[in-house]
């Protein structure tokens, strides 16, 4: 679900004597190498686009085979997320320079993304890799939800009654590093991505292909969205202003790449408001489908209605775990559901255990105060053993281990509770 566009903020350079009263929609380019150097020197980074409520980092796609698409793919993805996510206040930081190990920094590929995402406190990080495979190009796109965003937007709890200790059982989104799309295109189709990125950087006098080109988007300045007309947006940067299209020229391979951008935009829109449903669409990966359905299942944990918990949490979790694990092509999206352990390891089993506990507590609290409810230790032990079995597929999932410690405490199994707590501490320290 995408909400309508609102009036956007003027750039700071043009609104020098007044406060920004409208939401910020802006893009700023930054040097990845420079910011990594500053971090390794122990210096703090300047917070980029500080007026935006939601800020994302988009990294230049890795291009080890020299396809020439790295910057174009980043431009297409970042422009779509900026304009089409529907988020009321968004800032996109486009990082120039690759994230692969090399140069003066010894940080690994993922470490660079982690360090920048943490230091800039972004809500989401996006990047990808482009490789040749025979006569084709394979474009892999990734989204990473930093730890702060996971806790703020994708963590749910089941609170135990005071009679059972009043503790909190926790479930969080897993995986938080998501392989969103694997796009295979013929090498001859690459031109559609390059041409779209080039056209989208041309500023025109009015929202029309026939209008005069008045300049190109600057590479070293922040620019902001000022207005919109259909698929066109009016961008401003300092004294430079002009109109660019968003998707009009993004066809063929470029259009299919936008499925990854759409999924990333939906993640942001959900963070902005959970009323924005999180769904996966055709052309994405098993991980993308699992994440979309896991968010639905997480939301179900906090429903008050027994029926809602069953449908939104337990039924969804059952699609990915246990004897009812669904395999094959998903009927709604056409995405392959895979088989075996679901993406995220024991995350769905954890949600399933918490949903079963929530249902038992809701049923037991019918007609009596919730905090007076106390479930039989044997019932709690059965849930704990089921979750413990699933934890073998994901032995470093701290959420699962901490939940097991609490469940075994309630089930009066001190030995297993102590073991689970010890494993949780070790897993947390290893992060």
Closest CA to 131 of 178, 77, 65: 65
Q: List pLDDT tens digits, range 137-184.
A: 999 999 999 999 999 999 999 999 999 999 999 999 999 999 999 999
Mean pLDDT of 37-44: 93
Q: What is the pTM assigned to this prediction?
A: 0.88
Answer whether residue 39 shows pLDDT above 80: yes
Residue 386 tokens, joined: 């089921």
Distance CA 12, CA 2 (A): 27
Q: What is the number of other CB atoms lying within 10 angstroms of the CB of residue 4?
A: 6
Angle at 235 between CA 232 and CA 240, to 5 degrees: 135
CA-CA distance, 162 to 219, in Å (whole number)? 58
> For position 11, what pLDDT does the model report?
32
Using one digit for the tens of pLDDT, what is the confidence trace for 216-254? 877 667 778 888 888 888 988 888 899 988 888 888 999
Q: What is the pLDDT of residue 97?
A: 80
The confidence score (pLDDT) of residue 111 equals: 85
Which helix (DSSP H) or strand (DSSP E) does residue 304 occupy? none
Q: Over the stretch 120-142, which tens digit does the pLDDT of each residue have?
A: 999 999 999 999 999 999 999 99
- Tell me: the pLDDT tens digits for 330-374? 999 999 999 999 999 999 999 999 999 999 999 999 889 999 999
The ranges assigned to domains in the chain are 25-151+183-255, 157-178+278-429
Put residue 60 in one of left, alpha, beta given phi > 0 → left and psi -120 to 50 → alpha: beta
Could you give the 3-state DSSP secondary structure of residue 269?
A: helix
At 242 the pLDDT is: 92
Instruction: Judge whether 26 and 225 are in contact, CB under 8 Å.
Output: yes
- Cβ within 8 Å of residue 314, ≥6 positions away: 300, 352, 355, 356, 359
Strand partners, 237: 240
């Amino acid at each position: 679900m995408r909400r309508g566009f609102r009036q956007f903020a003027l750039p700071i350079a043009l609104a020098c004597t007044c406060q920004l009263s409208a939401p910020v929609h802006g893009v700023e380019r930054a040097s990845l190498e420079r910011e990594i150097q500053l971090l390794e020197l122990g210096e703090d980074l300047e917070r980029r686009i500080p007026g935006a409520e939601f800020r994302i980092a988009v990294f230049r796609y890795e291009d080890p085979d020299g396809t020439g698409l790295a910057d174009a793919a980043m431009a297409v993805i970042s422009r779509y997320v900026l304009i089409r996510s529907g988020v009321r206040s968004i800032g996109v930081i486009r990082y120039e320079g690759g994230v692969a190990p090399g140069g003066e920094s010894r940080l690994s590929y993922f470490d660079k993304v982690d360090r920048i995402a943490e230091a800039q406190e972004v809500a989401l990080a996006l990047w990808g890799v482009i490789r040749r495979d025979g006569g084709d190009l394979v474009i892999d796109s990734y989204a990473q939800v930093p730890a702060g965003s996971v806790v703020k937007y994708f963590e749910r709890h089941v609170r135990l009654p005071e009679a059972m200790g009043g503790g909190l059982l926790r479930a969080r989104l897993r995986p938080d590093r998501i392989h969103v799309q694997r796009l295979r295109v013929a090498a001859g189709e690459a031109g559609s991505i390059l041409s779209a990125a080039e056209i989208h950087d041309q500023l025109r006098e009015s929202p029309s292909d026939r209008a005069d080109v008045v300049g190109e988007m600057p590479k070293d300045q922040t620019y902001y969205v000022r207005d919109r007309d259909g698929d066109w947006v009016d961008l401003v940067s300092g004294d430079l202003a002009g109109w660019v299209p968003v998707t009009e020229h993004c066809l063929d391979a470029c259009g299919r790449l936008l499925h990854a951008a759409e999924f990333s935009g939906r993640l942001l829109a959900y963070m902005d408001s959970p009323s924005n449903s999180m769904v996966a669409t055709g052309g994405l990966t098993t991980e993308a489908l699992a994440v979309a359905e896991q968010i639905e299942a997480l939301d179900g944990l906090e429903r008050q209605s027994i029926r809602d918990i069953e449908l939104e949490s337990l039924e969804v979790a059952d699609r990915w775990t246990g004897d009812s694990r669904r395999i094959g092509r998903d009927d709604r999206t056409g995405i392959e559901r895979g088989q075996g352990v679901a993406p995220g390891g024991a995350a769905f089993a954890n949600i399933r255990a918490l949903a079963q506990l929530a249902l038992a507590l809701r049923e037991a609290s019918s007609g009596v105060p919730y905090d007076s409810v106390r479930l039989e230790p044997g019932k709690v032990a059965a849930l704990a053993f089921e979750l413990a079995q699933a934890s073998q597929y994901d032995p470093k999932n701290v959420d699962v281990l901490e939940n097991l410690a609490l469940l075994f405490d309630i089930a009066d199994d001190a030995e297993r509770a102590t073991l689970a707590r010890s494993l949780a501490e070790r897993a947390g320290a290893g992060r």
